[in-house]
Amino acid sequence: MQTEMAGVLVLADGTVVRGGGAGAAGVTVGELVFQTGMVGYQETLSDPSYAGQLLLFTYPLVGNYGAGPAMQQSAAIQARGVIVRDLLPSGGHRDTDGELTDFLAAQGVPVLTGVDTRFLTRRVREHGAIPGALAVGPAGELPTVAELQARAIAFDYAAEDFVTACATPTLVWQPPAHPAGPRIALIDYGSKTSMVDHLRARGAGVWLVPPHWSAAEVLALQPDGILLSNGPGDPAHLAGPLGTVRGLLDHGGAPVFGICLGHQLLARAAGCQTIKMSFGHRGVNQPVIDTTTGRVAITTQNHGYVVAATSLPSDYRVTYSNLNDGSVEGIAHLTRPWWGVQWHPEAHPGPTDTQDLWDTFLAATSSARVAVSF
């Protein structure tokens, strides 16, 4: 007979939330953040940008269409722990072949269930992302609140190197469908598989490049374009990758496109500052406005840091702003093909409003890119 599991979450400030336990038994520590999407839980859980975090789903019903390999955005679940209102059995879906509960258990991820996620969401909104310790196991075997709080207090999200753990350790080449297709160097800080999928679907070949390669090593590939991927962590602590991006801007001629963390690294290489947000943007309903055309798009986002608008140098401009809080959502160089966006144009999950950015990027890699506007 299987022992029923319980769960407890203890935050660094002493907040204690008890509920049921699912997934894997054990204790994990991370930064508590919330995500507002109604669907796409597996894509979210496997997004490397969530490395080091305890992921709280604001939508109350999670697991109701199962889990399967078609929805994975990386090789494993990246969130360290999961908090939900109701973890449900699967009702079935053509792209899934199992239960989310079993999937999380197999990958060693503990889940806290049956709790008031609205309370925790308000806590994060009022006080910002906060370290927490999550324990799951038989009720009589859980650690004490004092032990868990001590572990939460000791956790420092900004001090850990999540990028190295998430990214490819070696160069990986995926050839184009046709020999004349553009060659893209995707510098992997924790990229989602859908990025490669979008590039290859448009005829490009892709090198998946380790995050700590130098600019000289990247440029030796002679890429037609360089994509700086999303990923976890504080961009201010990534000295090696930042040096590479600076080298690419100083010595390379290929277009450079940054997404999420890649956008932040591009901005810092240009001389901008990045700052930690209170609770970040995480969800599939973030509205951004094109500062040139006034066009509004709904986007998928997952970030806790943002480019400081007041630090933008004179040779760059803000291309997109967030309609909720006015934060910087995109930048571009005034004359060079270097630009980035804070959101995920590949979505997965989320809206497809801005997938034309992939076409713009690949058009810029062509020798006839003089007509492309940045």
List the catalytic residues: 260, 344, 346
* Strand pairing class (274-290; 296-307): antiparallel
Closest C-alpha to 226, from 242, 207, 212: 207
- Determine which helix (DSSP H) or strand (DSSP E) holds 285, and give its type and residue range: strand 274-290
* Dihedral angle sign, alpha carbons of residues 128, 132, 137, 139: negative
Dist. CA 45–CA 76, nearest whole Å: 9
Order of strands, sheet of 172-174, starting from the edge strand that comes earlier in the sequence: 172-174, 205-209, 183-187, 225-228, 256-259, 338-341, 328-333, 316-322, 274-290, 296-307
Query: Token digits for 203?
Result: 């005829």
Rg, Å, the chain Cα set:
21
Q: Are 342 and 307 in contact (CB under 8 A)?
A: yes
In which element (H, E) is residue 57 found?
strand 53-57
Rounded to whole angstroms, the Cα distance separating 56 from 37 reads: 11
Helix, strand, or coil (residue 341): strand
- Choose among 37, 303, 344: nearest CA to 197: 344
- Cite the DSSP H helix spans in 220-323: 239-251, 261-269
Q: At residue 69, what are phi and psi to the nearest 5 degrees?
A: -65, -25
Residue 19 CB contacts under 8 Å (≥ 6 apart), including other chains: 6, 7, 8, 9, 112, 113, 114, 115
Cα dihedral value 346, 348, 351, 352, nearest 10:
40
Q: Within 13 A of 205's CA, how many CA atoms are on the CB side?
A: 17
Going by C-beta distance under 8 Å and a sequence separation of 6 or more, which residues neighbour residue 354?
297, 299, 341, 343, 345
